[in-house]
Structure 1
Amino acid sequence: MAFTLGDLVPDLLGTDQDGREVRRSDYPGRKIILYFYPKDNTSGCTAQACSLRDGYSELRAAGYEIIGVSRDSAKSHQKFITQHELPFRLIVDSDVQLNELFGTWIEKSMYGRKYMGTERTTFVLDEEGRIERILRGKEISTKEHAQQLLQHQ
């Protein structure tokens, strides 16, 4: 199953780097940028996270909260957050349930080898938790992701 524009996403999204539940209802009256990325501390994922960090105050001022999602462990997320001073939560999706629910767990290919992995995808949720925008794969500019999101509010 993959969510599409206008779909209402579930309230419970997962568990963050500190083992706390992450719920949409934790952010009443706010829009949520829920972004799925392949792996902590890789070049593209670090560039994307740092872009969102650098644009964090502007995004918050525009009414957004940011939540990242990857398969990495809580320990990996904690290290990633500390190393890059990330001001937002990261969901641990080691069982890929959230990736599968959102349709971001796809077959990929590198050097002719096929494998399953996370498609870099950003979902913008409105204040009620409905998907109002989806950016996938090459549509996402990792180094300028915050500005990309702010330009199309």
Structure 2
Amino acid sequence: MLKVGDKLPEFEGINQDGKTITSSKLAGKKLVVFFYPQANTPTCTVEACNLSDNYAKLKKAGFQLLGVSGDTVKKQKNFHSKFAFPYDLIADENHHIIDQFGVWQEKKTFGKTYMGIVRTTFIFDEKGICTRVIEKVTSKTAAEQILEG
């Protein structure tokens, strides 16, 4: 998994509107990249809405946000439209970005072991250096976790 001190990986992804987002275009500002398992699921919705509800505070603190999951562009579009998120969601169906950040890992739920996206938030400074990794994201207070750093 990407760690504190690592550089923002070079990546390219498709957002909810079918537009290409590149990591190089995100440089120069503080960046929050949050990974979530699946669009429109209860916990992911709570997290994404918490970030949306606190977007003004995050923006005032200088952050830009980018959400990433392995969903299709259509699913991301539906999720984005349903909640009117003020930030982009990347559809990383091929797991290029997910693999670069190292968030595709073994998970256990109710005794079952499977591979999936581990809910993780990465924070980068203006120079594209990772300053924090939040591995234990609390969906209801995701924005506070980012701001308290």
TM-score higher than 0.5: yes
Taking the TM superposition and a 5 Å limit, the aligned residue runs for 1:72-151 are 72-136=71-135, 139-151=136-148
Query: Shift in Å at residue 28 of structure 1?
Result: 4.5
Partner of 2:68: 69
- 1:35 corresponds to 2:34: yes
Which amino acid in structure 2 is aligned with residue 50 of structure 1? Answer: C
Give the TM-score of the pair, scaled to structure 2: 0.93
TM-fit CA distance, 1:144: 1.0
1:110-147 superposed Cα distances (whole Å, 9 cap, x missing partner): 232221100000000111111110011xx211011112
Q: In structure 2, how many angstroms separate the alpha carbons of the residues matched to 1:24 and 1:124?
A: 13
For the 8 Å contact 1:15–1:21, the answer to whether it is kept is yes
CA RMSD of aligned residues (A): 1.3
Aligned partners of 2:124 and 2:51: how far apart in 1? Answer: 16
Judge which range, 21-30 or 111-120, deviates more: 21-30
User: Would you say the 8 A contact 1:12–1:21 is kept in 2?
Assistant: no
Aligned-partner Cα distance in 2 for 1:55–1:42: 20
Distance 1:5 1:15 in 2: 26
Contact 1:107 1:114 in 2 (8 A): yes
Q: Distance in 1 between matches of 2:3 and 2:148?
A: 21
Indicate if the aligned counterparts of 1:38 and 1:117 stay in contact, CA closer than 8 A: yes
Match of 1:9 in 2: 8
Q: Distance in 1 between matches of 2:111 and 2:21?
A: 37
AA of the residue aligned to 2:143: A
Paired amino acid for 2:85: L
Amino acid at match of 1:40: A
How far does residue 25 in structure 1 lie from its aligned partner after superposition?
A: 3.1
Is the Cα–Cα contact under 8 Å of residues 16 and 91 in structure 2 kept in the other structure? yes
Identity among equivalent positions (%) equals: 38
